[in-house]
Every structure is written in structure tokens, then in C-alpha cells.
Amino acid sequence: MRFLKTALLALGLSMAMIPPSLSAEKPLKVVLVSGAKIYETGVSLPKFKDYLETHYPVDCTLIHTDNKEELPGLEALEDCDTALFFTRRMKIDGEDLEKVKEYLSGGHPIVALRTASHGFQNYLEFDKEVLGGNYDGHFKEGIPMEIRVTREGKDHPALQGVGRIETVSSLYRTAPIAEDATLLMEATTADSTQPLVWTREHNGGRVLYAGLGTVEDFEQESFKRLVANALFWTAGKEIPEPK
């Protein structure tokens, strides 16, 4: 009996000495940067935050504003594993813009959705330099399109468990994307085929861009799965199955 108590005590002490990172997986720390009023990110991203924290080991910080010239709370970028940007033509400057640039120049991971390609009016080079994109406007709304997974995308971790995605979004003109980008999904209309989802690296950090993100897109399980996968993948973490 004395031996058993001693063994249990030793086991308890050894467990107490295991670092938290080894004894229990820490939640992924995600920052969601929301500032695309026309796409109602003030509606979709809070719901997506709840979805992530309900179905994945994730701890989210949501930064949202409807003011194009201010984006308070960006200091959260200093302590996150990855960040999602969904902004549109914001005119932030000074310290706020520098915080964004510092995060990106440091090679930190990023997931960018739809209008993030032109998310900062004072930093339009973000599209080419960071995302590897080539945004040049969009086609008319309501034009039917077919979204397909490319050969490179079929085995990519970001698309694991992602089913068919349909969208009412207008198709962005994004071709050609950077030579070092890997195209995962493309969209085809009667007149054009355009890159839709791709990945690359910027200063050593993983980047994933998706030209999707309407409120209706966020209602699709496949799209939410894609974005959740992208967050874990860009952070260099194993992608868990949703609960």
C-alpha cells in the first residue's frame, strides 16, 4: 500500500512537471480582422468566431470596425498563431497601418478573404506583395460559375473534408497570380476561368487567399470548413476534424 502511494505521488509530480504545451494541446490563437461593411463582416465573422470556438480548439479575438479610418485592437496580432483578414478599402494610416505591415513583414501567417485583396487603400501593394494576387475588378454579378478543385488542390490539407462550394459572388479578375503561388481552386464562367483559392509563402509565412466570403458563403459548411482548415494550415498545425 505504501509503495502504491509513493508511486502515485511520483506520477503526480511528474505530470505536474510536464509543460502545458505537452500535457494539453493549446488552442489555436486566431485574430479575425473585420472591416468590409458591404459584405456584412460585422454579421458573418462574429458567427464564424462562434463556429470556430464551438467546433475546434480555437481561441479567437475579433477586431471589427465600420470606420474606414480606424482599426483599434491590432495589438492582438502580436500574440496570435494566425490571422484572418477580411477588410475592404480601409484608409487606416500611421500606427494602425504599421501594425499590419509589421505583422506581415515578420513572416506571420495569414488567411485573406475576398476584398482583402484591396483591403487597405493606403497599402494596395498588399495584394501582389503578400497575397501573390492580381485583383483587377470583377465580372458582372449573377453570372453562373463552376468552381472546381485543381490537380494541386486535390491533396492539399486546406481542402481536406471540403465538399462542393457554390456562391452568388461575382467572379474576381485575378489572373495571373504569382508564379510561386499554388492554385487550389478556380472558377469558370462561359467566358473566363479565374484563380479563386491559392496559397503561397511571404517572408517564410504561409498565405492562403480565397475570393469568396459573402454572408451566404459563410452559411455553407464546406466554406466554413475551408476557412477553418486554412487557419490551422497557415499556422503550421495539424488540421483537426470539427467536433
Among 156, 158, 42, 68, which Cα is nearest to 109's? 158
Q: Any idea what the CATH number is for the domain that residue 67 is in? A: 3.40.50.880
Phi-psi region of 221 (alpha: psi -120 to 50; beta: other; left: phi over 0): alpha
**Looking at the domain assignment, is residue 242 inside a domain?**
no
19-28, 134-143, 195-204, range with the lowest pLDDT: 19-28
**Looking at the domain assignment, is residue 43 inside a domain?**
yes
Domain that holds residue 76: 25-234
Helix (H) or strand (E) run with residue 197 in it:
strand 193-202
Tell me if 85 sits within 8 A of 76, measured CB to CB: no
pLDDT tens by residue, 83-129: 999 999 999 999 999 999 999 999 999 999 999 999 999 999 999 99
**Looking at the domain assignment, is residue 79 inside a domain?**
yes
Mean pLDDT on 191-196: 95
**Looking at the domain assignment, is residue 205 inside a domain?**
yes
Residue 130, helix vs strand vs coil:
helix
Q: Side chain identity at 166, as an amino acid letter? A: E
- Only one residue has cell 502511494, namely 5
Task: Establish how many alpha carbons lie within 13 A of residue 135's alpha carbon, considering only the half-sphere containing its beta carbon.
Answer: 24
Res 123: pLDDT: 97
Is pLDDT at 154 greater than 80 in this prediction? yes
User: Residue 240, class by beta-carbon neighbours within 10 Å (0-12 exposed, 13-18 middle, 19+ buried)?
Assistant: middle
Q: How many domains does the chain have?
A: 1
Confidence of residue 15 (pLDDT cuts 50, 70, 90): very low
**Looking at the domain assignment, is residue 124 inside a domain?**
yes
Res 7: pLDDT: 43
**Looking at the domain assignment, is residue 95 inside a domain?**
yes
